[in-house]
């Protein structure tokens, strides 16, 4: 039952429409998929995604694949995947940083270990607390009327009642006006949040956040550059609307500094930023102990990566801002034969052994580079 081989592929999946952030517009999302096979032929699968090559962070898809293959995989062969915690601890002694690559490998180990024991992955992570979690959707047409129409239709379908708007590109106050018109249209039927993706300076943030707060927006995500902890602290002290750290909230050390200096009132969890599933739970524990609220973030993963996130987030007591694992809804196609279920304003935790997803290897071969 020990590990015999590891294979890693880069996959490009087209989206149903452009997804705009301040640093990049996604029309084709790149993900990295790993499969870890044991000597009996059982396979554990995992996925991580990044945004715009090197535009979001330092871990490009090509670097994730190369560093995992060269520096991490040699520490896996012949090992028992059920010892995934020990394996990743040993890897950390030899591999610095590379949180995306570590998260990719750890996920596949956990999927394989769970399959060997015929258990859902969340049972290896402490057991699930939630069967389903609130799910946000990003309104991204850029046209106020179209966004309002889309929001009302999704409310009617009972698919989403949390909407995020990316407002890091263009004139800040025009973007604020766009958001407030949507909020006025949906009223109390939906919660609205915004994501600035580090695009504002502190002066701009003061004017924009004041207007958004008065207009009923419930959260402002990463308004300032990720390094500006002091600026984030001043915004957190100044406003009662939640100031969320995302790009500036990565591993346990950064979360500790955010908690210590109050450089945010909430954080976005992302498995790849933290360095793995277990590290994500560690990060969440630090935040919860400091009274910092949690959001189950996404890097726009496909159904496999979203299922991995759900198995982790389902084990956390509180996610005050819900989740945004909407990636599978944004892609034109899927790498799995089964789908994640979105209904009643929630995303439902996949059941079955491992992460509960079955890979369509024909689709994987079609979309891989």
For the chain, the structural domain boundaries read: 3-124+360-367, 126-348
Report strand pairing: 25-38 vs 43-49: antiparallel
- Measured CA to CA, the distance from residue 68 to residue 64 in angstroms comes to 6
CA distances from 323 to 238, 264, 346 (A): 26, 18, 9
Residue (of 325, 321, 311, 250) closest to 277 by Cα position: 311
Cα-based distances in Å from 26 to 171, 221, 336, 339, 368: 21, 19, 21, 22, 17
As annotated, the active-site residues are: 166, 324
What is the assigned CATH class of domain 3-124+360-367?
alpha beta
Task: Give dist(CA 111, CA 353) in Å, integer.
Answer: 8
Q: In what order do the strands lie in the sheet with 293-296?
A: 136-139, 162-166, 191-195, 219-221, 242-245, 266-269, 293-296
Residue 29's nearest CA partner among 46, 16, 42 is: 16
Query: Which CATH architecture best describes the domain 126-348?
Result: Alpha-Beta Barrel (3.20)
Q: What is the pLDDT of residue 21?
A: 66
Helix (H) or strand (E) segment spanning residue 7? strand 3-20
CA gap 18, 9 in Å, rounded = 24
365-to-6, 34, 82, 171 alpha-carbon distances in Å: 16, 13, 28, 42
Helix (H, G, I), strand (E, B), or coil: what is residue 191? strand
Residues of the chain where predicted confidence (pLDDT) is lower than 50: none
User: What whole-number distance in Å separates Cα of residue 50 and Cα of residue 23?
Assistant: 12
Query: Tens digit of pLDDT for each residue in 211-237?
Result: 999 999 999 999 999 999 999 999 999
pTM exceeds 0.85 for this model: yes
Burial environment of residue 59 by CB neighbours within 10 A (0 to 12, 13 to 18, 19 or more): buried
Instruction: Tell me how crowded residue 299 is: count the other CB atoms within 10 A of its CB.
Output: 23
| Cα–Cα distance list, 60 to 69, 76, 116, 195 (Å) | 14, 22, 31, 22
Question: How is residue 98 written in tokens?
Answer: 């590379």
Distance CA 207, CA 217 (A): 14
State the pairing for strand pair 266-269/242-245.
parallel
φ, ψ of residue 24 to 5 degrees: the values are -170, 150
List, for residues 193-214, the tens digit of each pLDDT value.
999 999 999 999 999 999 999 9
Q: What is the pLDDT of residue 9?
A: 98
* pLDDT computed for residue 23 by the predictor: 64
């Amino acid at each position: 039952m020990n590990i015999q081989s590891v294979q890693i592929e880069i996959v490009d999946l087209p989206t149903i429409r452009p997804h705009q952030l301040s640093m990049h517009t996604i029309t084709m999302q790149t993900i990295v998929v790993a499969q870890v096979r044991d000597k009996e032929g059982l396979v554990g699968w995992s996925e991580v995604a990044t945004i715009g090559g090197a535009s979001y962070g330092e871990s490009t898809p090509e670097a994730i694949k190369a560093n995992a293959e060269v520096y991490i995989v040699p520490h896996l062969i012949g090992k028992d995947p059920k010892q995934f915690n020990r394996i990743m601890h040993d890897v950390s002694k030899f591999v610095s940083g590379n949180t995306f690559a570590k998260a990719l490998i750890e996920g596949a180990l956990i999927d394989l270990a769970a399959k060997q024991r015929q258990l859902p992955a969340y049972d290896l992570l402490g057991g699930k607390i939630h069967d389903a979690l609130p799910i946000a959707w990003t309104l991204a047409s850029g046209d106020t009327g179209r966004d309002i129409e889309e929001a009302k239709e999704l409310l009617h379908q009972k698919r989403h009642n949390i909407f995020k708007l990316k407002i890091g590109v263009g004139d800040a106050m025009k973007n604020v006006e766009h958001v407030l018109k949507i909020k006025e249209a949906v009223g109390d039927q939906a919660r609205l949040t915004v994501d600035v993706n580090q695009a504002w300076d502190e002066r701009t943030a003061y004017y924009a956040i004041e207007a958004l707060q008065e207009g009923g927006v419930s959260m402002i995500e990463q308004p300032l550059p990720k390094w500006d902890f002091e600026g984030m602290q001043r915004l957190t002290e100044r406003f009662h609307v939640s100031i969320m750290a995302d790009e500036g909230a990565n591993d346990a050390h950064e979360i500790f500094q955010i908690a210590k200096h109050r450089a945010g009132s909430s954080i976005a969890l992302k498995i790849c930023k933290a360095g793995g599933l277990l590290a994500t739970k560690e990060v969440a524990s630090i935040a919860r102990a400091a009274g910092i609220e949690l959001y189950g973030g996404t890097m726009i993963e496909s159904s496999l990566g979203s299922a991995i996130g759900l198995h982790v987030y389902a084990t956390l007591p509180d996610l005050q801002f819900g989740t945004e694992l909407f990636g599978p809804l944004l892609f034109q196609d899927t790498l799995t034969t089964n789908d994640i279920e979105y209904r009643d304003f929630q995303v439902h935790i996949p059941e079955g052994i491992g992460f509960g997803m079955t890979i369509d290897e024909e689709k994987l071969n079609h979309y891989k580079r």
